[in-house]
Structure 1
């Protein structure tokens, strides 16, 4: 079911049990723009079915926020202009060379090119997958891009991120709404989930320059400005506390600064920053 944020903005909520991210729809007077293409043919078709129930202008553009499979494997279904940044284009080209028969999928899982969960989604939710091939992108941009859907401007920009090097956001100025994709999340390297300490403050700086009241994240419910401020405060305070590979030291530093124990979210962030310290040590 589509969630209505305003007369112009809708979104389909994430489903974490199916690795389905939030999908967005921005409607202008002439055209509509979709944010992310879904994790499968079925996901995209369900989104299109929901859109058909409202009086939305034709979908002209689909913006892919980054090159993780759950955000683009359904994009062929929209029959629209696919927009990606230059690095996302390069990374998605790898998937354009994939085959999706059983044998190939198992090979990709064994060689860590694909997760087993991704393989199961493809098997269950992409019909005719033996002949499935990811379409090429139509527009590859560097930096930023501005689109007018008809009295509805969307700014598309690549930002610095703790999640990927190719994160793109979509900002709708007159609605004070920003679609962040997965950009504020951490990432997994060598089976270790971590938050990149070096990218945290640059990312927050890039996002906070937008005058936004509504924030839509890839795998969360919608957040308002107060909720995002809490999120940023927790992240930055945990980042300050982590100066080594010791979680105990990080907790001690945190408690010294705040005169309380970390809450559940903060413990998660502390561990993620400690993991980043460990990964950085391995690369030295």
Structure 2
């Protein structure tokens, strides 16, 4: 696996289908660095950090979550610095933390084969909540690089967060453009709301959770196919 630079301030550790690992984003400003999503497990985080260190990049001071799903969040206990999430995302994390600590990981491991591969060999499943909660929108100035963190309605989950790096005109979408996680249905009204939010940010490049960087028009065309 290689770290890929996709713009002036942004690198990614690319997604992997076998263990359902999403892209992990990294944004470097003059004063701070930010990761986008916290990975599937501590092993995922360790591999990401090893790539950053090999590239001479400092570990992230902050990590922001795009939504609660385990492949994007269950590595949180191993991240450097503080984690940011919207309040809905944090609520889901607290729910799963309680489930696993009370009943063990069996329900979680039963969800999908990719999870069992990530946690093979009896690896411990650890869920922690975020350190910083927000509602609506917040802006971070990393030093010569502003990042907008924006809650949005979206078809995949009800807790989606978009991360827009203004200077690079790159938008991280997490899995927000995908079908509803529970039903497999792609709600037209929610797609229209997400489309409007993306257009209001006006990115040139979109970075989905489990895909390569593409032009915004490609993402919008795919989003609005029913």
Q: By the TM > 0.5 criterion, same fold? A: yes
TM-score (norm 2): 0.91
C-alpha distance in structure 1 between counterparts of 2:57 and 2:30, whole Å: 9
Unaligned runs of 5+ in 2: none
Deviations 1:160-209, CA, capped at 9 Å, x for gaps: 101111000110111111101011111243xx421012312111101111
| Higher RCO structure (Cα 8 Å, ≥6 apart) | 2
Q: For 1:14, what is the secondary structure of its paired residue? A: coil
Whether contact under 8 Å (2:68, 2:93) holds in the other structure is yes
Q: 2:119 aligns with which of 123, 127, 136?
A: 123
| Equivalent residue, structure 2, for 1:162 | 155
1:72 aligned partner = 73
In the other structure, the counterpart of 1:203 is 194
Question: Conserved in 1, the CA contact under 8 Å of 2:19 and 2:118?
Answer: no
Q: 1:219 to 1:119 in 2, by over 3 A?
A: closer
- Is 1:38 the counterpart of 2:39? The answer is yes
Q: How much does 1:92 deviate?
A: 0.7
Residue segments in structure 1 that go unaligned for 5+ positions in a row: 239-268, 270-284
Which region of structure 1 is more displaced relative to structure 2, 218-227 or 202-211?
Answer: 218-227
Let me know the Cα RMSD of the aligned residues: 2.2
- CA offset at residue 133 of structure 1? 3.3
Match of residue 27 from structure 1: 28
Contact 1:67 1:91 in 2 (8 A): yes
1:135 alignment partner in structure 2? 128
Q: Of Structure 1 and Structure 2, which has the larger fraction of its residues in helix?
A: 1
Q: Residue 51 of structure 1 corresponds to which residue in structure 2?
A: 52
Is 1:60 aligned to 2:61, yes or no? yes
- Shift >3 Å, 4+ stretches: 98-101
Match of 2:169 in 1: 176
Distance apart, 1:219 and its partner CA: 1.0
